Amino acid sequence: MNARLQDLDDVRWHHLLAPHIAERPDAPALADDGGAAWDYGALDTACDAARDLLLDHGVRPGDRVMLLAENSATAVAFMFAASRVGATVIPVNARQTEFEVARLLAHADPAVVVATSAASGEAAAHADRLGATPERGAYGDVHLLARPGTRPDDDPDVAVLLYTTGTTGMPKGVMLTHANMVYAGRAARGYRGLAPGHLVYGVAPMAHVIGLASMMTATMCSGATARLEARFSVERLYAALKEGVTHLPAVPQMHALLMQHVQAHGHATLDSAHLAYVSSGGAPLDPAWKRKAEAFYRLPLQNGYGMTETTAAASITANRLGDPDVSVGPPLDGVEIRIDDTVPGGGDGQGEVLIRGPNVMKGYYRNPEDTAAVLSADGWLRSGDLGRIDEQGRLHILGRSKELIIHGGFNVYPPEVEAALNDHPQVIQSAVIGHVQDGDEKVLAFVQAAPDDLPDPDDLRAFVAERLTGYKRPSRIIIATSLPAAATGKILKHKLLDHFADDLAR
C-alpha cells in the first residue's frame, strides 16, 4: 500500500510532527516575518504551551477553537495544540471584517477565540473589539477570549473547520478530518519531493486549504522548513529565493510580479541555485504563459486541481521542463475522479467532475442539506466544476459551474459579494463575475440602480469595504440602470462583458 494511505484511521494531525521532534529536534522547522525561528524542539515546546493554555481555559475534546490569524509560527503552534487537546481548530483570516467574523462566531460557536495579535494588526483589532485578554508563552503573544456555555461536538474525527461560502452567500464550514489532513500532507510531501533540508516559501494563507494542507502540513510532516509570510511582498520573495528557498508554491499573480521585478533589475531569468520545485495554483494555465514562466525559472511549472472540500489537491501534474501539457494532471494515489456527463453542459466526454477518496471532506458543519446535495452515500463529491479526462488519464478543467472566482489565490464567491452590494439602499440588484486579466481573475461588479437615484461610486466602495475583506472587493463597479436579463428576470451573467464592453474599456 502507498505510504500516503497507510494508517489514516490511526494517525492524528499532530502526530505528523512526532518523528522529527524525536529524531531531529535541532532541525529548523519554522521562520516567520515577525522574527520567530523555531527548530522542531522549540515547535514542540510551543505546541505544549499552547495546549496547556487551551486546557486552562476549559477547552475539551470536541470543542471548537477559532484562530484569528495571519501566517505565523504562533498560528502553527495553536493549530497543532488544538489537535493535541482533541479540539477542532477554525482558522480564520484576520483580514476578514468584523461583520464576517461575527457571522462565523454565530455559526461555529467556538469555546475560545485565539487572536495572534502580535503577528497581525488586524487580529489585534478583532481581539480588542471582542474584549480578549493578553496571554504570553512559548507560543508567543496572543489574545484569548473564553466563551463559556458552548457545547462540544461528539465527533473525534474532525480536526479542522474551514469556512467557505456557498451559492446562497452564507458561510459553510467544511469539516476536514484528521485522516484528511494526514493524507493531504503526505500527498503534497510526495508530489513535491519534500525532505529534511528543504525550505518552503509559505505565503499562501493558512486560513485557506492550500496554505494549511499543501504548504504547512506538508512541510511539517516532511521535516523540512517553512518560511512563513503574513503578506505577499515581491521584494521579500526575491530575497528569500536568493537565500535558499527550494520550493515555491504560488499563484499566477505572484509569479507575474516576480518576473516583472527581476526583469526590472535587468535579468531575463531567475538566478537561484537552490530552487527545485515551482507550482502555480488557483487558476488554469495558459500555454504561452506557462512557457514564459518555465523559461524564467528554468524549471517545470506544475499545476493541480482541488478545493476546500478535497483538502486541497485531487490531481497534480509531474511534468518535465517544456512539456506542453496544461491539464491539472491525473488523480492522486487513492483518489478516484470520474465525469458525470448527464449534467447541463455535459456530453461528448465532458461533464461535472466527481471525486472520491481519502481527501474528501466529512461534510458541512451543521448543514446536512448542503452536505447531501454534494456528497453521495458512497462517497462521491460533486465538485460543481466541468471537466474532461484525456487519453492519458489527465483531468482538464473546462469551467466553474459554481461561478467561483479565484483572485490572487483567494476564493471569492459572487453571491457573497452580491449580497454586500445589494444591502446598499440605492442598489436594486447586482451581478458579480470573474474576468481573467494579467494571469489573475479580477472581481467585476455590475450594479443596477434607479435612473434618478444612482449611488456615488466612492460611497458604494466604502459601503462594501465595511462588509467584505480586501480580496473580495470588486476591482471595478459598473453602475447602470438595467442589466441584461431573461424574461424571468434572471440576470444573464454570460452577457455582461459584451453588454458593458464600452464601460469596461474606459
| pLDDT tens profile 452-463 | 889 999 999 999
* Mean pLDDT across 349-362: 95
pLDDT band at 92 (very low <50, low <70, confident <90, very high): very high
Q: Where are the domains of the chain?
A: 35-175, 405-505
Q: What is the reported pLDDT for 344?
A: 72
Task: Determine the number of helices (DSSP H) and then strands (DSSP E) in the chain.
Answer: 16, 26
pLDDT digits (tens, 9 = 90+) for 317-340: 999 999 999 899 999 999 999 999
What are the pLDDT digits (tens) for 138-178? 999 999 999 999 999 998 899 999 998 654 557 899 999 99
Q: What is the pLDDT of residue 506?
A: 83
DSSP state letter for 27: S
Q: Give, for 85, the enclosing helix (H) or strand (E).
A: helix 73-85
Measure Cα distances from 118 to 78, 114, 230, 233 in Å: 14, 12, 12, 19
**Can you tell me which residue has the cell 436594486?**
428
Cell, residue 120 = 497581525
Whether the pLDDT of residue 486 is over 60: the answer is no
In this prediction, residues 207-227 reach a mean pLDDT of: 96
Note whether 353 and 360 are within 8 A (CB).
no
Coil vs helix vs strand at 237:
helix
405-505, CATH topology level: GMP Synthetase; Chain A, domain 3 (3.30.300)
- Mean pLDDT of all residues in the chain? 91
Q: Is 80 exceeded by the pLDDT of residue 282?
A: no
For residue 10, count other CB atoms closer than 10 A to its CB.
10
What is the model's pLDDT at position 487?
Answer: 46
Looking at residue 437, what is its pLDDT? 81
Q: What is the pLDDT of residues 228-252, one digit of tens each?
A: 999 989 999 999 999 999 999 988 7
Q: Cell for 167?
A: 451559492
**pTM score:** 0.85
Q: Report the share of the chain in percent with pLDDT over 90.
A: 73
Q: What is the pLDDT of residue 488?
A: 42
pLDDT at residue 491 in the model: 79
pLDDT at 33: 93
Whether pLDDT at 30 is above 90: yes
Span 439-460, mean pLDDT? 90
Domain 35-175 classification at class level? alpha beta
Per-residue pLDDT tens digits for 107-148: 999 999 999 999 999 999 999 999 999 999 999 999 999 999
**Statement: residue 502 has pLDDT above 80:** yes
Cα separation, 108 vs 187, in Å, equals 29
